[in-house]
């Protein structure tokens, strides 16, 4: 299991704790393989009882919030349900966006054909996403996203509907991302050398959570620094496409 020291604490008081979840680590124990490393179990070994307020996909990095007692968990869960928590994400995507900013309100449901995959479905659950292209190096873009709802894979399925495909997403995109895709004909490998991917997960980062503290009633904003693979991907895009 991942070392406790590797999990960066972003905020902590007597009621709650927020950490910077690394990409590749589960949020909670896997139902079929409970011994796989996950944030919840790591924090329980540190704090004892801990309550998961929300989840992030295994491949997503960034801010994840936990409560230290049942009452705090109840109040924070209610705040999420009532859309009183501002959730900001950043991602790097490829494509030609239909607009540089907007709202996506397509309903989302489970795929009837592929387990673990979500699809746009008129009979699905209400799903609301706001997006804004911050920087463009066509056909690559850095995008800021705010979600009002918290459906499974919401950002990963909503953004492609407006022409933005998150880099590194193997479920809803092309999978691993390589520098050779940027360099084109300029890219050369030595004989016998194999190119290593720049990204092996969706280039999606939970940037910040803003909410009213359930007990202190003060406004809190918790932000997570970008991981190395996110920064490296953006730097390579700027180098070759700017």
**Residue environment code for 60-81, b if the CB has 16+ CB neighbours within 10 A, otherwise e:** bbbbbbbbbeeebbebbbebbe
The distance between the two most distant Cα atoms of the chain, rounded to a whole number of Å, is: 62
Per annotation, catalytic residue among 30, 35, 57, 69: 57
Residue 41 belongs to domain with CATH number: 3.30.2350.10
Whether 169 is catalytic is no
> How many percent of the chain have pLDDT more than 90?
86
pLDDT confidence of residue 3 = 46
Please count the structural domains in the chain.
1
Range list of H helices, the chain:
39-47, 70-81, 154-158, 180-183, 228-241
CB atoms within 10 A of CB 53: 21
Residues in the chain with pLDDT values less than 50: 1-5
d(CA 133, CA 104): 14
96 burial type by CB count under 10 A (0-12 exposed, 13-18 middle, 19+ buried): exposed
pLDDT confidence of residue 186 = 65
pLDDT in tens, 168-178: 999 999 999 99
pLDDT confidence of residue 152 = 96
Domain of 61?
A: 4-241
């Amino acid at each position: 299991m991942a070392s406790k020291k590797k999990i960066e604490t972003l905020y902590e008081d007597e009621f709650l704790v927020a950490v910077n979840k690394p990409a590749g680590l589960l949020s909670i124990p896997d139902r079929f393989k409970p011994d796989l490393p996950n944030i919840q179990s790591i924090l329980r070994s540190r704090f004892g009882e801990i309550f998961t307020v929300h989840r992030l996909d295994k491949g997503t990095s960034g801010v994840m919030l936990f409560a230290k007692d049942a009452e705090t968990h109840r109040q924070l869960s209610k705040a999420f349900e009532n859309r009183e928590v501002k959730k900001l994400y950043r991602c790097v995507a490829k494509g030609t966006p239909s607009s540089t900013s907007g709202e996506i309100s397509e309903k989302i449901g489970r795929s009837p054909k592929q387990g673990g995959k979500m699809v746009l479905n008129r009979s699905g659950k209400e799903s609301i996403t706001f997006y804004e292209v911050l920087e463009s190096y066509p056909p690559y873009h850095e995008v800021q996203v705010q979600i009002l709802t918290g459906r499974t894979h919401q950002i990963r399925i909503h953004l492609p509907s407006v022409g933005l495909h998150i880099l590194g997403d193997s479920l809803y995109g092309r999978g691993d991302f390589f520098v050779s895709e940027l360099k084109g004909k300029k890219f050369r490998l030595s004989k016998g050398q194999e190119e290593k991917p720049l990204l092996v997960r969706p280039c999606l980062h939970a940037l910040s959570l803003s909410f009213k503290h359930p007990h202190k009633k003060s406004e809190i904003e918790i932000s997570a620094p970008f991981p190395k693979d996110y920064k490296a991907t953006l730097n390579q895009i700027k180098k070759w496409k700017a």
